[in-house]
Amino acid sequence: MVSEIKKKLVQDIKSDIQKYPIIGLVNMENLPAPQLQVMRNTLKSKGVKMIMARKKLLELALNQSNRENIKQLTDKVRGMPALLFSKDNPFTLYATLEKNKSEAPAKAGQQSPKEIVIKAGPTSFAPGPIISELAAVGIRTKVEAGKLAIISDVTVAKEGDVISQKLAETLKRLDIKPMEIGLNIVAVWENGLVFSAKDLRIDEKEYANNFTLAAKEAMNLAVECVYLSKDTTETILQKAFREAKAVATEGNVINDETRDSILAKAENQALSVKKEANL
C-alpha cells in the first residue's frame, strides 16, 4: 500500500510540473554529495527549484501532470534522476549546469566525455620506466635537458571511448583531468517540446562570432548592391569617390582631386622611359 507521504510527494511534484514552463531532467549518478549541495545552492540562487525523488515517483508525477508530450520526458528518466523547475529557458538552464561543473581525474571504465589530446612539450619526468608507460598509450617522448619531452600532440581517447586502466593512470601522472563533475542534464521540456542535451549544447563564443560575421557580410552585400541606409550611405559614397577618382586618373581627367595622382603617374612613366633608354 502506498503511504500518504509518497502520495503527497507525487501531488507536490505534479503541481510543480503543471506550474513551471520549463522542466529539466537530470541524472545525479556519480555526483559526490558536496558537489550536489553546491549545485543545489547555485540553482536556488538563480531561481531554479530542484526536486529529488525515486524514479517511480517522478515518473508517476510526470504522467499524472497531463502536460503535452510529457511522456517524451518520462521515457528519458534513468540513473539517479531529479527534476529542475525554471521560468527562464532551456538553453540558460543547460549553460548554468555546464558552467558549474568541476574537473576530475578519469577512472578506468569511464567513458571519455570529449576528445583527450596530450600536447607536445616538456614534462617534469626524468628518463626511466615512465618512458614505456607513456609509449603504452601512444605517447612518444625524447630527452631534453635531462627531462622527458612529448614529441608531438597525441589523441589518446575520442569522445565516448572507454578509458583503460593504463590510460587512467597515465592521465593522472600527467595531471590531466578530463572528466567533469556536476549535474548531467538529460532533457528539458518546454511547451510540449523536449530538447535533449545535445540540442542545448551551444558554443557561446562561436555563436557571438557568427553574429559578428553575419553583420559584416550583410554590410558588404548592402554596399556592393548600393543599398542606401544610415549605416551604409557613408561607406557607399566613399567607395564611389574612390572608384570615380581611379577612373578619372586612368583617363587623365585633370581636376583638383586627380591632379597630383596624374602628375605622379606621368613622372613615374617618364622615369621608366629614361631608365629603359639609358638616358
Q: Is residue 108 part of a domain?
A: no
> Final residue of a domain: which of 170, 201, 232?
201
Name the β-bridge partners of 155: 117
Query: How far is Cα of residue 186 from the mean position of the Cα atoms in its chain?
Result: 17
The pLDDT tens digits of the residues spanning 14-72 come to 999 999 999 999 998 878 888 888 888 989 999 999 999 999 999 999 999 999 999 99
- Orientation of helix 259-276 relative to helix 233-250, angle to 10°: 40
Domains held by the chain: number: 3
Check residue 1 and give its pLDDT: 47
> CA 91 → CA 29, 54, 68, 127, distances in Å?
22, 26, 20, 48
User: What is the value of pTM for the model shown?
Assistant: 0.61
* 56 and 145 co-located in one domain: no
- Note down pLDDT in tens along the chain; length 279 residues: 458 888 899 999 999 999 999 999 999 887 888 888 888 898 999 999 999 999 999 999 999 999 999 999 999 998 899 999 999 899 999 988 888 888 888 889 888 888 999 999 999 999 988 999 999 999 999 999 899 999 999 999 998 899 999 999 999 999 999 988 888 899 999 989 999 988 888 777 877 888 899 989 999 999 899 998 998 999 999 998 898 888 888 888 888 888 888 888 888 878 888 777 776
d(CA 130, CA 127): 7
* 241 and 219 co-located in one domain: yes
* 147 and 235 co-located in one domain: no
Helix (H, G, I), strand (E, B) or coil at 65: helix
Q: Is residue 137 part of a domain?
A: yes
d(CA 259, CA 274): 22
* 8 and 94 co-located in one domain: yes
* 187 and 171 co-located in one domain: no
Q: Which domain holds residue 226?
A: 207-276
d(CA 123, CA 233): 57
* 127 and 96 co-located in one domain: no
